[in-house]
Chain A
Amino acid sequence: MKNLKLKSARAALDLSQQDLADKVGVSRQTINAIEKGDYNPTINLCRSICKVLGKTLDELFWEDE
């Protein structure tokens, strides 16, 4: 399942996948895989992403009903 919330939060800050990857300390492919829903990140990586994007875990990673 695609993570559109993450993609929009990233776009809102005008960050490319590579920019976000560099800030979080992962590869660009990993960010791409998370956005495409191909990879489920660990809680540590989720927290790092949330910190960089200024969002909470719920806002980025909680699925709406």
Chain B
Amino acid sequence: MKKSTVCTIAIICMLILIGLCAFTFHVESKNDNKISSIRKTEVQVTQGTPDHEKSTFEFTVEKSGQYRTYFSWAPEGVKSKDFSSYPSTDLGFLTMLILFNDKEEEIYATCDGVLSADPVMELSAGNYRAEYVYVTKPEQFEKLAVNYLCGAYQAPQLAKELAPTFASLKTDGTWNMQQEFRLTSVDAFQSGQFYGVIFGLLIGTCIAVLMLAAMSTSKKIMESPKYDERQELERGRGFKLTFYVMLIFTGITFAFDMGGLFPEMDYAVLYVIGLFLGISVHVNYCIWHEAYFALNQKMSSVMAVFGFITLFNFVLVLFSVIDGSLYRDGQFGYSVLNLFCTLMFLSLFITVLFKRRDIAKKNALIAEEDEEDE
């Protein structure tokens, strides 16, 4: 491909990207289904009891649909991503989210949220009132249970678990707290996600095109890897094996899903894990059967790349373990993919390592045999 052609394609991609961005912002400004409120309050604590027992937010939903609500109550300056690292009794109380419609009917209640809660619920058009209640004493749980503000099972269970460590606000004095309330239309969020995917694809395409343009100047890089006929045959066998492995993986996943035993993770995560499994099987098979490296390709550079990717992903896994995003709210997060990526590249690295030793041994044996023949 001519360099000028590649550059033209890159410019067209960029123009499409700019046009799409403009369109996305236009759509978002029209579909402004987002309500947001941040309040800063001072909480006076006297003898372990805060003077602030609940906050009320009133809002209007103009269009029926699924909405994600988000409430938080945390010391000023604490970011929501750090909430998970706080023990549930650290602030001295639990929070309850209760949602009332305009007929004063309670339509939603949860005491799952400690510092924050972000349930998704179906809301019809109308006025709503949200109450964020701070439960400061264990006895209040029973009252909440009587009023059906939290589950009959949930309240006494929580009270039983937390009562011994229920600290109330630890220090008397003034606390600067920040309350946050957000209401986001899930439909708008999903369309945002869709444009995000398109945006990402376009950026990826542009980068790929630019890289191709840069690479087209180097003949050496543009040459496709050359495999001999035995290697092609082994690679074909590798693809066949991978096909059966993927078939079995899909079958098992389907069976587990039908049986209600789906792993605690998003479908998208599972698909990518399946992809990693397929790649691992194919590449490991090809490396072991000496069909991964093209003719005259050096193993050491590929090994270095595998090692780097393993380490890089391992560091990301460590970070996700530290900030708790690997496993949160009873579900594996997207960072579990880094874990599987680490395992995949580690397996490839080890296979290359063993294959190198194997080849060195075989070479020594062949040299010995050749000498004997002479």
Contacts and interface: CB of A to CB of B under 8 A. Distances in A.
Physical interaction between A and B: yes
Interface of A: 7-8, 11, 16-17, 25-27, 29-30, 32-33, 39, 41-42, 44-45
Given A11-B374, A17-B366, A25 B228 contact: yes
Majority-rule SS of A interface residues: helix
Contact of B229 (A11, A16, A26): A26
Interface residues of B, number: 13
Contacts of A45: 228-229
Interface of B: 228-231, 233, 290, 295, 359, 362, 366, 370, 373-374
Contact of A32 (B228, B295, B366): B366
Nearest to B290: A29
B178 to A, nearest CB: 65
Nearest to A29: B290
Contact of A30 (B230, B370, B374): B230
B373 A29 contact: no
A60 B83 CA distance: 74
B230 A39 contact: yes
B373 A7 contact: yes
Given A7-B373, A16-B370, A30 B362 contact: no
24 contacts: A8-B373, A11-B370, A11-B374, A16-B370, A17-B366, A17-B370, A25-B228, A25-B295, A26-B230, A26-B295, A27-B230, A27-B231, A27-B295, A29-B290, A30-B228, A30-B229, A32-B362, A32-B366, A33-B230, A39-B233, A41-B230, A44-B229, A45-B228, A45-B229
Kindly list the 10 A-B residue pairs having the minimum CB-CB distance in the complex, ordered from nearest.
Answer: A26-B228, A30-B230, A29-B290, A11-B373, A39-B230, A30-B228, A27-B228, A42-B229, A27-B295, A45-B229
A30 B231 contact: yes
**Residue of B228, B290, B362 contacting most chain A CB atoms (<10 Å):** B228
